[in-house]
Chains A and B, each alone.
Chain A
Amino acid sequence: MNKYTERLYNGLIKENPTLVLMLGMCPTLAVSTAAINGIGMGLSSTAVLVLSNLVISLLRRVIPNEVRLPAYIVIVASLVTVTELLMEAYLPSVYEALGIYIPLIVVNCIILGRAEAYANKHEPGLAVMDGLGMGLGFTVALTLAGLVREVLGAGTAFGYQVLPKSITPMAIFIQPPGAFLVIALFIIIMNAIGIKTRQKKLVESNGCDGNCGLCSLTCEQGKEAAK
Chain B
Amino acid sequence: MKSLILIIISGALINNVVLNQFLGICSFLGVSKQMKASASLGAAVIFVITIASAVASLLYDQVLKPFHLDFMKTIVFILVIAALVQMVEMFLKKKSPAIYKALGIYLPLITTNCAVLGVALTNVQDGYNFVQSVLSGFGTAVGYTLAIVLLAGIRSRIREEDLPAPLRGAPIVLISAALMSIAFMGFGGLSF
**A contact set with B: CB distance below 8 Å:** 22, 25-27, 29-30, 70, 73-74, 77-78, 80-81, 84-85, 99-100, 103-104, 106-107, 109, 172, 175-181, 183-185, 187-189, 191-192, 199-200, 202-215, 217-218, 221-222, 225-226
- Which 10 A/B pairs are nearest by Cβ-Cβ distance? A180-B178, A214-B112, A184-B174, A207-B27, A207-B30, A191-B166, A221-B108, A199-B170, A30-B22, A213-B112
| Residues in chain B within 8 A of chain A (CB atoms) | 19-27, 29-31, 33, 37, 41, 71-75, 78-79, 82, 104-105, 107-109, 111-114, 117-118, 121-122, 125, 165-175, 177-179, 181-182, 185
Residues of B within 8 A of A218 (CB): 108-109, 111-112
Give chain B residues whose Cβ lies under 8 Å from the Cβ of A183. Answer: 174
CB distance from A216 to the nearest CB of B (A): 10
Residue contact B109 to A222, C-beta cutoff 8 Å: yes
Q: In the bound complex, do residue A77 and residue B181 qualify as a contact, i.e. CB atoms below 8 Å apart?
A: no
* CB-CB under 8 A for A180 and B74, given A206-B30, A226-B105: no
Closest beta carbon of chain A to B14's beta carbon, Å: 12
Contact B181–A177 (Cβ < 8 Å): yes
Which residues on B sit within 8 Å (CB–CB) of A191? 165-169, 171
Which residue of B78, B113, B179 contacts A73 across the interface (Cβ within 8 Å)?
A: B78
B169 near A81 with CB under 8 A, answer no
- Report whether over half of chain A's contact residues are helix, strand or loop; otherwise say mixed: helix
Q: What's the minimum C-beta distance from A74 to chain B, rounded to whole angstroms?
A: 7
A192 touches B33 (CB 8 A): no
A26 touches B122 (CB 8 A): no
Establish whether residues B27 and A211, one from each chain, have CB atoms under 8 Å apart when the complex forms. Answer: yes
A165 to B79, CA, bound (A): 50
Within 8 Å CB of B168, what residues of A? 191
Say yes or no: A209 contacts B30, CB within 8 Å. Answer: yes
* Cα of A55 to Cα of B121 in the assembled complex, Å: 26
A190 to B165, CA, bound (A): 12
